[in-house]
C-alpha cells in the first residue's frame, strides 16, 4: 500500500497513473487530495474503477484526519506531492503557501512518524503488505523543486544536491522550509525519508496557469500569449513521465536520508520554448484561412516581468544517473509534441478546468498587460 498526497494534481496524478498502469506494480494506491483548484478527479478517471485505487478527500492541514487515514491504510510508503506550487500565486498571497507547504508537511511528518513508531523492527523478508510492514521497509518520499536553490548565472554548472539553498520567491522559500523539515525528521527521529528536487515539468493534466499549457491553450483560442520580461529566462525542462520513472526508482532503491535531483538536461529560454510550441501547433492544428493570424507565434506578447524572477535553473542529475542508470526518454521536442497533442485531444478536460475561478485568475494576472480584448476568455 502506497499513500500519495496531492495525487489528483498534475505530477501526482501522472505518478498514480504510472503506478497503476505498470504491470510490475500490483499493490494498492491511496490518493489523498483536498481537490483545490489544481486538483481534479478527472485526472484519475482512467483508473477510477481499478480495484487497487482508493481515494480520500483530505486537507493536509487536518492533522487528526491525516493520522486516522494513515493508521487505517497502513502504507509501506508515503509520497508527498501535495503543495501550493505556482510562483505568481505565492507572490500575491504567500500565506496559503506557508500553511500548506510548511505546516501541511509538518502535519504529514508527524502523522507518518506516529505510525512509524507502531511498526515492528522486522526483517527484510517480511512481505510489503498491510500490517506486516516493518520499520526497515517504510519510506517517506518528499517531492520538491529545484527552485529552492535560487538562480544560476549563465556559465554556472547546474544545481547539484550539495548546492546551497537560496530561495527567491515565497513559493521557493516554503518548499525549502519543507525540505528542511523532512531532513530534520530523518536526522532527529530516524524517520526513513528521501527527498527529490526536480526541474520544470510538463505534460498531460497540467493546470494552465503554468507556462506550457498556458501557451498551448491561449494559442488554441487565438488569445495573446504572455511572455514575462524579455523572455530570456532559462529553464531545464523535464517530461512528467520521465520524472515519474525517476521517482519510482528513488522510492524503490534510494538511500535513506539522501536527496536526488531530477532534471531533463534540457535548457531553453522561455521565448525559444514558446516559439517551438507555436511551430508544433502550426503542424498539428493548422490555422484556418479565416483566422486573423497566419502563424501562432504572432500571438506572442511581452508583458512586465515577475518580481524577483529567477533568470536560470539547471539541474545536475548525475547522482541519479549513476545510482539507477536513469535518463530521460523524451527530448524537449518529442515531449512537447505529445503534450500539445494531448491538449488538442482532451478538450473536455480543458473545458472542465476553465471555470470561473480560472477566468478570474487570468483576468487578474494578465488582462492589464494586454490590449483590450486580446485575452478575453471564450
User: What amino acid positions are annotated as catalytic residues?
Assistant: 146-147, 171
Alpha-carbon span 174 to 83, nearest angstrom: 9
Helix (H) or strand (E) holding 144: strand 139-145
Closest CA to 206 of 172, 246, 241, 254: 241
How far is residue 337's CA from residue 315's CA, in Å, rounded to a whole number? 23
User: Rounded to the nearest 10 degrees, how much is the dihedral formed by the CA atoms of 6, 8, 13, 17?
Assistant: 120
Instruction: Read off the C-alpha cell for 250.
Output: 528513488
Concatenate the DSSP letters of all residues of 263-275 into one string.
--S-EEEHHHHHH
**Best CA proximity match to 302, nearest among 378, 222, 228:** 228
Query: Would you say 140 and 191 are in contact if contact means Cβ atoms under 8 Å apart?
Result: yes
* DSSP state, residue 291: S
* Nearest in space to 202 (alpha carbons), one of 167, 236, 164: 236
What is the distance of C-alpha 18 from the center of its chain? 14
How far apart are the C-alpha atoms of 12 and 279, rounded to whole Å?
29
CA distances from 199 to 12, 158, 361 (A): 15, 11, 25
Q: Who contacts 48 (Cβ-Cβ below 8 Å, separation ≥6)?
A: 41
Block residue for cell numbers 489528483: 8
Which strand (E) or helix (H) includes residue 311? Answer: none
Interhelix angle 270-284/211-220, rounded to 10 degrees, is 40
Q: Cell for 330?
A: 523524451
Parallel, antiparallel or unpaired: strands 234-239 and 267-269: antiparallel
For residue 241, give the C-alpha cell: 513521465
Amino acid at each position: 500500500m502506497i499513500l500519495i498526497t496531492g495525487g489528483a494534481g498534475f505530477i501526482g496524478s501522472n505518478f498514480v497513473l504510472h503506478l497503476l498502469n505498470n504491470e510490475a506494480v500490483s499493490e494498492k494506491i491511496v490518493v489523498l487530495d483536498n481537490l483545490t483548484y489544481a486538483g481534479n478527479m478527472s485526472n484519475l478517471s482512467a483508473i477510477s474503477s481499478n480495484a487497487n485505487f482508493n481515494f480520500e478527500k483530505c486537507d493536509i492541514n487536518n492533522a487528526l484526519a491525516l493520522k486516522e487515514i494513515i493508521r487505517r491504510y497502513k502504507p509501506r510508503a508515503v509520497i508527498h506531492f501535495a503543495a501550493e506550487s505556482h510562483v505568481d500565486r505565492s507572490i500575491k498571497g504567500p500565506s496559503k503557501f506557508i500553511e500548506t507547504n510548511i505546516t501541511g508537511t509538518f502535519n504529514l511528518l508527524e502523522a507518518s512518524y506516529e505510525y512509524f513508531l507502531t511498526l515492528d523492527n522486522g526483517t527484510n523478508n517480511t512481505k510489503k503488505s498491510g500490517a506486516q510492514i516493518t520499520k526497515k521497509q517504510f519510506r517517506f518520499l518528499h517531492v520538491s523543486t529545484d527552485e529552492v536553490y535560487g538562480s544560476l548565472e549563465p556559465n554556472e554548472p547546474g544545481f547539484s544536491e550539495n548546492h546551497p539553498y537560496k530561495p527567491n520567491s515565497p513559493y521557493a522559500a516554503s518548499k525549502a522550509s519543507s525540505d528542511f523539515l523532512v531532513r530534520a525528521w530523518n536526522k532527529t527521529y530516524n524517520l526513513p525519508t528521501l527527498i527529490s528536487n526536480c526541474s520544470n515539468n510538463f505534460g498531460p493534466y497540467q493546470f494552465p496557469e503554468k507556462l506550457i499549457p498556458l501557451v498551448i491553450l491561449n494559442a488554441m483560442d487565438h488569445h495573446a500569449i504572455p511572455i514575462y520580461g524579455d523572455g530570456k529566462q532559462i529553464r531545464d525542462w523535464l517530461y512528467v513521465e520521465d520524472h515519474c520513472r525517476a521517482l519510482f526508482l528513488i522510492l524503490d532503491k534510494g538511500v535513506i536520508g539522501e536527496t536526488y535531483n531530477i532534471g531533463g538536461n534540457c535548457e531553453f529560454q522561455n521565448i525559444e520554448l514558446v516559439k517551438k510550441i507555436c511551430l508544433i501547433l502550426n503542424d498539428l492544428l493548422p490555422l484556418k484561412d479565416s483566422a486573423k493570424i497566419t502563424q501562432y507565434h504572432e500571438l506572442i506578447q511581452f508583458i512586465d516581468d515577475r518580481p524577483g524572477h529567477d533568470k536560470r535553473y539547471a539541474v545536475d542529475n548525475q547522482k541519479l544517473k549513476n545510482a539507477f542508470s536513469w535518463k530521460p526518454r523524451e527530448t524537449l521536442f518529442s515531449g512537447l509534441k505529445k503534450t500539445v497533442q494531448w491538449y488538442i485531444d482532451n478538450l473536455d478536460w480543458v473545458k472542465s478546468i476553465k471555470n470561473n475561478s480560472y477566468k478570474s485568475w487570468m483576468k487578474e494576472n494578465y488582462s492589464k498587460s494586454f490590449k483590450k480584448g486580446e485575452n478575453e476568455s471564450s
